[in-house]
Structure 1
Amino acid sequence: MRVTIVIFVSVVLLRLFVIDSFIVRGDSMAPTILSGDYVLINKFAYRFDNEPQRGDLMVLAAPSTQQKHIIKRIIALPGERIVIENGAVRIKESRDQNGEVLQEEYLALPNTPAIGITYINLDPQEYFVLGDNRQISIDSRVLGPINKWEIKGKVFLAFQLSGFKLKKF
């Protein structure tokens, strides 16, 4: 009985403070994460001295959308400049630099449509996030950059219950 209570309390505390789960609705992150996938996030991933990195998948509070949370990939970091042109995402670290084209093997299609915001300088604590399925994703091109405090956690695991396909990040 005592062991059961300890396990129950441990699971509740983990769920409340460390790990959270979400069911994905929509294909804005396809082919990486599909509609119906379950994702687990680490709520502590970006606390203390840990900073989000380019390429990280994260769940964030959905600013002005129909959904409560959205899943996106970090493309640009605080202080960087991002330019979307000719279907490519270019990251610039300074004004006098041409920047480098971001290599993105994970994309559904190799083209990033230039909709909404196509050029922006990020302030400290701001991140530019995009979905992997750029043709249908509502992301920073429409919503603008996100602030670090909007990040709910880093995706570390995604899976499907049917056929149990596991994806680690």
Structure 2
Amino acid sequence: MPRGFWKGLLKVLAFFAVIGGIAIAVLRVWFVDVVTVRHNGMAPTMILGDRVLVWRDARLERDDIALCRHPQDDPARWVIGRVAVMPGGEIAAERGQLRLGRDRVTHDVRGQVRFTDGETRHTFTMSWGTEEFDDYEEHLFFDRADRPFALRAMTRINGLYLLGDNRAHLGEDSRTFGPVQASGCRGEVFMRLTAAEGGLPDEIPHGALDILD
């Protein structure tokens, strides 16, 4: 190829890089926050060290991943969880199975994997697969084979009930701190910007620029 071709190509690429950089800057100023995940409560959807994008002031619906202020702790502390129940709904667990309203959530378990928790440095055998409920989108979930799922039943929930996808991880969702108010939520987590190195096996997708659902 002639030298002029390569120079022209580099100019075009540089132009689009500048435009892309401006677009990202505008998004960050007006619409989007970049947040670093601080725990493995949402594994395998997100793991410790992932950097994710949050769409500010999004109208949250069931199954969205929300970034909200902790309802009981330091007001500067944020929590991340999946909206399992909207205000006025109910939640329970029966024989280790999640129930929303009168209907049970069904699982399609794909198998078991080994997962190393970056917080504790311990490696566990986890069940993983999809979860289905009415208008719920399917999503990956973890559960310790030796720890049955349990929670305190609640009816007429006053707020959003958040659940982590890693049901074996306690302390970072509404099972511990109760419902959160939508007014205290920053927005919806919708994309992984960069992926942390973690203990996920190869069969579970986990990459940069993944859409999170």
- TM-score exceeds 0.5: yes
The corresponding residue for 1:49 is: none
Structure 1 residues 130, 102: CA separation in 2 closer, same or farther (over 3 Å shift)? same
The answer to whether the Cα contact below 8 Å between 1:75 and 1:129 also exists between their aligned partners in 2 is yes
2:69 is aligned, of 61, 64, 79, to 61
Q: Note the C-alpha offset of 1:78.
A: 1.6
Secondary structure (helix, strand or coil) at the match of 2:44 reads coil
Tell me whether 1:168 sits opposite 2:201 in the alignment: no
Aligned residue for 1:44? Answer: 57
- Report the 3-state secondary structure (helix = DSSP H, G, I; strand = E; otherwise coil) of the residue aligned with 1:141: helix
2:94 is equivalent to residue 85 of structure 1: yes
The farther-off stretch of 67-76 and 20-29 is: 67-76
Q: Separation in 1 of the partners of 2:34 and 2:56?
A: 10
Q: 2:6 matched to which residue of 1?
A: none
Corresponding residue for residue 146 of structure 1: 180
Number of the residue aligned with 1:131: 164
SS, match of residue 109 in structure 1: strand
**3-state DSSP class of the match of 1:152?**
strand
Shift of 1:39: 0.6
**1:114 equivalent in alignment to 2:150:** yes
Distance of 1:29 and 1:38 partners within structure 2: 13
2-side partners of 1:34 and 1:58: how far apart? 15
Counterpart CA distance in 2 for 1:44 and 1:128 is: 18
Q: Check if 1:26 corresponds to 2:39.
A: yes
Give unpaired runs (5+ residues) of structure 1: 47-51, 93-98
Mapped contact 1:37–1:158 kept (Cα < 8 A): yes
> Taking structure 1 as reference, are residues 74 and 84 closer, same or farther at Cα in structure 2, changes over 3 Å only?
same
- Greater gyration radius: 2
Residue 161 of structure 1: how far off its partner (Å): 5.0
Using the alignment, how far apart are the partners of 2:156 and 2:57 within structure 1? Answer: 27
RMSD: 2.7
Give the alignment's TM-score, normalised by structure 2.
0.61
Distance 1:53 1:132 in 2: 16
Q: Distance in 2 between matches of 1:159 and 1:15?
A: 13
- Conserved? CA contact 2:49–2:196, under 8 Å: no
* Structure 2 unaligned regions, length at least 5: 1-17, 107-130, 132-138, 198-206
TM-score by length of 1: 0.75
Decide whether aligned partners of structure 1 residues 162 and 114 sit closer, same or farther in structure 2, where only a CA change above 3 A counts.
closer
How many correspondences in the alignment?
Answer: 149
The alpha carbon displacement at 1:18 in A equals: 1.3
Q: CA deviation at 1:42?
A: 0.6
CA contact (8 A) 1:85 1:118 kept: no
